[in-house]
Structure 1
């Protein structure tokens, strides 16, 4: 009898890492497995290709010159206690772009004690924080790669990957690309940290920034990463096998991790110095920051669909099915930042449905939840945001929906197979449960933060 093929997941991947002792792989002083594992895992899991070509924004020579000039000016400016690496994906009420994950920390430190490197919003006029400059790392990479012509040979590793995962199309070029980016990033951030000598570095990751982590480690500067989304055993940036004894420099991680609440790190093996449940006032106070609750309840008639690149097609089809049988219910299709470039594609897909609207960053998840009665996801941090706002949640049983299994048994969580099942349960009242009150997001603990900063002195 033929053995049934095992479903690919993080446990299968961990077994692969354990079997071949991959964290010991070294090339010219770099333990490179930790650099490529995240990208390889999601390559094997998804191998996703968009329906739309992501045209890279053309940056004018004038803009490049301005960003390099700002960077050089920064290098020769006065030293500061803190460096912040922000990813300002949300708009605040005055249309300024802000980082909801670092906002509490930026508000807690004196405004002249930091510089912020922005990695998402390029327009200076839209920056919410003072002392901000756009991080020109992408420009630096382009220039530096002129000098990185030689590719190393990782064919033995490629053969191992292919042997265990026959569907892999991961190449020697992919491995070289990741490692070269790491080397360039490490060199770039080492220059910054050597000159500026900050007391601490705070970061919202925008991508995987292990070169930055290693540069801070080499100069004994603590790096604190802020939680910005789902953290669980299937997120390979934050999840490692318990059966491996990780040696010095085999993994590249922040020194500390600031989480939304205690909920997120339970049962997770993330081998950093310390996790600190610091909270987040943006998420915690979402109801207080919105309209009168009575008005919200009256306006909350829609269905919010929280999309992302790999779930977009399945959610698109389900949204169309739901909109077809519920023409009086507005559907708000919210794109993830990794699919903003696909906005016109989805607008075209929904053109025959007047009750479906597509959003990129014109409105935040919370602004759309204010006018929504429920949320639909496959896998999204927005599910927890909705639950915190006392909205019913529908989880579509497709792809990696089981990453939400830790909430399957909670009231107000509905696992569904089709649009009809959403319609049947759409008007259900939210069931209050004191055990889940503020489970996912606690308020920012300024006292704990001040204690932490004082401990750095």
Structure 2
């Protein structure tokens, strides 16, 4: 089932059933279950939603001693949860694109970083963070606890309703595992907080993957702040459920006006407060990347097109990219995958495959940006670069159509045959009407926000 269809099906279930009544320890666990049920709905074979694979577990084990775990016992008013895969290379250093400012603003902060198979922890000499530990300790402990903890620790109230939803739709979803893991996360964080100095606040880049942590922090009166790390709108499955929950953050810091308006008017129950803070990496990259990376190609090609890939739509994009390159041999197409791929199949002379590069450098110096629905369309706006969406399965128009209008910095097309005319229309319109997507990043403003929080 396609993304948008799966989202509509999930919304239909939430309108039809009293999903809030599915509870553990007195709180609704639906905000968590819907995240993983959505993944099941979107899979044609209805296999179990993602769990910790052997490869991921091996990565987690390797991360245990990547940094000194004893740093967790220091005095840190602020804890930051982020992920190694969100680091970008700037002048030889690897910087967190969302939370990189914290090490400059709050030098006593504790960073708890999640490793990944694709991007392991960086060496201490390559990063700015001083007090940093691997999240591996929490991950290993939570997964082990989930396996051994008594059944009575995760008794699901009104479980019959969950079974009814799954049976009626013939979905295979191991919801018990996810509830048990949620409880295990909370218990492990409670233990960590009992043996360390409690922080005043916690900043989290992606809290919907660690709701058990959020639960533990909020129950102890610790403020939880979400730092926006990607798309937020009415088409994102993690942000469309309009109910308040102890599993949601107290505050969310967003890119700009669009997201602020969404949380204030469309889903006001997600977070008590909303702050506009921009995106750290954009202005940092703008300062660093001062030389045109495409200078060697300018004499051979009249236009440089950067295509931002996405793992879920690689195959259709390859066909689109090959056709667009065939039709426009005087343009250079640079394909940047979300994750490196083996045997990149597009062999055109005017197509360059660029993996493991800093896409912000490429966005700054390209002429045109293209994608299916990556958030790079927003980041391209910051550098005043137009975007041509390959509107595969209407993903782009569903995601961005209500905010990014055709002709105002973007065009939506159904196939590569229309790519050239879309670029020409964008050039005729120039930068007229480009929306301001990102609030200016300002460290003093963030200091004031932190001071207001206490």
TM-score (normalised: structure 2): 0.82
Cα shift readout 1:352-387 (whole Å, capped 9, x = no counterpart): 334333344x21221222342212222111001112
Cα shift readout 1:70-95 (whole Å, capped 9, x = no counterpart): 32x234x3211111112242322244
Structure 2 CA distance for partners of 1:392 and 1:451, relative to 1, 3 Å:
closer
In the alignment, structure 1 residue 92 sits paired with structure 2 residue 89: yes
Question: For residues 380 and 59 of structure 2, what CA distance do their matches in structure 1 show?
Answer: 40
In the alignment, structure 1 residue 157 sits paired with structure 2 residue 158: no
Equivalent residue number for residue 222 of structure 2: 221
Structure 2 CA distance for partners of 1:327 and 1:181, relative to 1, 3 Å:
farther
Query: What are the equivalent positions in structure 2 for 1:239-254 lying under 5 Å apart?
Result: 239-241=240-242, 246=244, 250-254=245-249
Cα shift readout 1:106-141 (whole Å, capped 9, x = no counterpart): 3212x2x21111114323344332222221133223
Is 415-424 or 9-18 further displaced after alignment? 9-18
Equivalent residue number for residue 263 of structure 1: 258
Question: For residues 252 and 60 of structure 2, what CA distance do their matches in structure 1 show?
Answer: 38
Match of 2:104 among 94, 107, 112: 107
Equivalent residue number for residue 274 of structure 1: 273
Cα shift readout 1:154-205 (whole Å, capped 9, x = no counterpart): 4641332453xx4x5332x2x1221122112112222233322111111211
Structure 2 CA distance for partners of 1:62 and 1:456, relative to 1, 3 Å:
closer
Cα shift readout 1:288-335 (whole Å, capped 9, x = no counterpart): 443268987985832222222222222122112122333443322222
Structure 2 CA distance for partners of 1:13 and 1:105, relative to 1, 3 Å:
same
Equivalent residue number for residue 3 of structure 1: none
Instruction: Give the drift of 1:102.
Output: 0.9
Q: Is the 8 A contact 1:199 1:456 kept in 2?
A: no
In the alignment, structure 1 residue 291 sits paired with structure 2 residue 271: no
Instruction: Give the drift of 1:451.
Output: 2.3
Instruction: Give the drift of 1:256.
Output: 0.6
Instruction: Give the drift of 1:30.
Output: 4.5
Long gaps (5+) in structure 2: 48-52
Structure 2 CA distance for partners of 1:311 and 1:251, relative to 1, 3 Å:
farther
Question: For residues 312 and 60 of structure 2, what CA distance do their matches in structure 1 show?
Answer: 34
TM-score (normalised: structure 1): 0.81
Equivalent residue number for residue 419 of structure 1: 416
Query: What are the equivalent positions in structure 2 for 1:355-394 lying under 5 Å apart?
Result: 355-360=350-355, 362-394=356-388
Q: Is the 8 A contact 1:331 1:356 kept in 2?
A: yes
What SS is found at the alignment partner of 2:306?
strand
Structure 2 CA distance for partners of 1:298 and 1:430, relative to 1, 3 Å:
farther
Match of 1:170 among 162, 172, 178: 172
Question: For residues 65 and 444 of structure 2, what CA distance do their matches in structure 1 show?
Answer: 39
Structure 2 CA distance for partners of 1:43 and 1:60, relative to 1, 3 Å:
closer
Once superposed, what is the RMSD of the aligned Cα atoms? 3.2
Match of 1:396 among 387, 390, 393: 390
Query: What are the equivalent positions in structure 2 for 1:64-143 lying under 5 Å apart?
Result: 66=65, 70-71=68-69, 73-75=70-72, 77-88=73-84, 89-109=86-106, 111=107, 113-120=108-115, 121-125=120-124, 126-136=126-136, 137-143=138-144
Question: For residues 328 and 56 of structure 1, what CA distance do their matches in structure 2 show?
Answer: 43
What SS is found at the alignment partner of 2:334?
strand
Question: For residues 295 and 255 of structure 2, what CA distance do their matches in structure 1 show?
Answer: 25
Q: Kindly tell me the number of residue pairs found equivalent between the two proteins.
A: 422
Structure 2 CA distance for partners of 1:298 and 1:308, relative to 1, 3 Å:
closer
Query: What are the equivalent positions in structure 2 for 1:283-322 lying under 5 Å apart?
Result: 283-284=282-283, 286-291=285-290, 299=298, 301-322=303-324
Structure 2 CA distance for partners of 1:296 and 1:276, relative to 1, 3 Å:
farther
Instruction: Give the drift of 1:222.
Output: 0.5
What SS is found at the alignment partner of 1:344?
coil
Instruction: Give the drift of 1:284.
Output: 4.4
Question: For residues 157 and 99 of structure 1, what CA distance do their matches in structure 2 show?
Answer: 38
Instruction: Give the drift of 1:232.
Output: 0.2
Structure 2 CA distance for partners of 1:276 and 1:115, relative to 1, 3 Å:
same
